[in-house]
Amino acid sequence: MTADTTTAISVVLAASRYVLLDFDGPVCAIFAGRAAPLVARELTVALKSYGVSVPDEALSRGDPLDVLRFASRASETLVADIERALQAAELAAVDTALPTPGAADFLDACRQTGRTVAIVSNNSAPAITRYLDRGGIAALVAHIEGRIPASPDLMKPHPLLLQRAIHALDASTEVAMLVGDSTTDFEAAQAIGVRGIGYANKRGKAEALARAGAAAVVHNMTELSRVVADIPAP
């Protein structure tokens, strides 16, 4: 981590008492043991069983959430069924999810420095809760804001999930920060004036996150946890 990056992170931390943390990426790789493209194909098969033709673009990224978004455009009944199937797949996936190195240290550093953490994710809240419980880190998270069932249009980049988390924490955007690994995280944060730090775990992500509005970008959560540990919450 460069000195400039450390300085930029420190500026954000010095003004932040509340941390809005994305789940898939900064906390774990939810589909590490059960590949996301496989889950997306299974959801597609479910849609096709209803006689729905799924365009290639809905599967181009191998993201199950893309299939959920497509289902929402098809019908309310279909999106409800695909939501249930996706939740079941996520609940199964967290049993083999790969913890992100440094994630637990980051959560502990937030607690030690007086920061309150809410997880804000496009994944389902039950799956997130299960993961935190299994990992013994649930006590380090004050609130979980998962996607609103069968409402993929309200997932990030829509800012609603961030707004709901801030309200649940009785916080304000002025003293909140985001840690995320997706441009949609920062699009949502920018929409409501929340500063953010990007977690770039893949080649090319750092530049994309910076363009999306991240004040600074780190490449591992361990480095970030060390900076957090040195800066008390305001």
Can you list the pairs that 193-198 forms with residues at least 24 positions away whose Cβ atoms lie under 8 Å? 194/20, 194/162, 194/166, 195/12, 195/15, 195/16, 196/12, 197/9, 197/12, 197/224
Say if residues 114 and 89 touch (Cβ distance below 8 Å): no
Q: Decide if 192 is inside a domain.
A: yes
Q: Helix 221-229 vs helix 103-112: angle between axes, to the nearest 10 degrees? A: 10
Based on the domain organization, do 85 and 178 belong to the same domain?
Answer: no
User: Quick one: pLDDT at residue 113?
Assistant: 98
Q: Quick one: 175 and 66 in the same domain?
A: no
Instruction: Show which of 96, 111, 137 is a domain's final residue.
Output: 96
How many CB atoms neighbour CB 79 within 10 A? Answer: 22
User: What was the pLDDT predicted at 154?
Assistant: 97
| Distance of alpha carbon 68 from alpha carbon 187, whole angstroms | 20
Rg (CA), the chain: 17
Same domain, 200 and 167: yes
User: Domain end: 80, 96, 112, which one?
Assistant: 96
The answer to whether residue 71 sits within a structural domain is yes
> In this structure, are 148 and 209 located in the same domain?
yes
Domain membership of residue 234 (yes or no) is: no
Residue 112: predicted pLDDT: 98
Point out the domain boundary residue: 78, 96, 114.
96
Given this model, what pLDDT does residue 68 score? 95
Residues 75, 80, 86, 88: what is their CA dihedral angle, to the nearest 10 degrees? Answer: -160
Burial 23-41 (b: 16+ CB within 10 A, else e): bbbbbbbbbeebebeebbb
- Whether residue 149 is contained in a domain is answered as yes
pTM: 0.95
Residues 6+ apart with CB under 8 A from 8: 215, 216
Residue 70 lies in a domain: yes
* pLDDT by 10-residue block (mean), the chain, 234 residues: 93 98 98 95 91 80 93 88 96 97 98 98 98 98 97 97 98 98 98 98 93 96 97 97
Residues 221, 108 share a domain? yes
**In terms of C-beta density within 10 A (0-12 exposed, 13-18 middle, 19 or more buried), how is residue 210 classed?**
middle
**How many C-beta atoms lie closer than 10 Å to residue 51's C-beta?**
6
The angle subtended at Cα 90 by Cα 84 and Cα 92, nearest 5°, is 105
Same domain, 55 and 134: no
| Residues 216, 12 contacting (CB under 8 angstroms) | yes
**Residue 40 covered by a domain:** yes
Pair of tokens at residue 109? 């550093």
Report pLDDT for 9: 97
Which residues lie closer than 8 Å to 72 by C-beta, 6 or more apart?
A: 79, 150, 151, 152, 153
Residues spanned by the domain of 9? 3-29+99-229
**CATH code at 195?**
3.40.50.1000
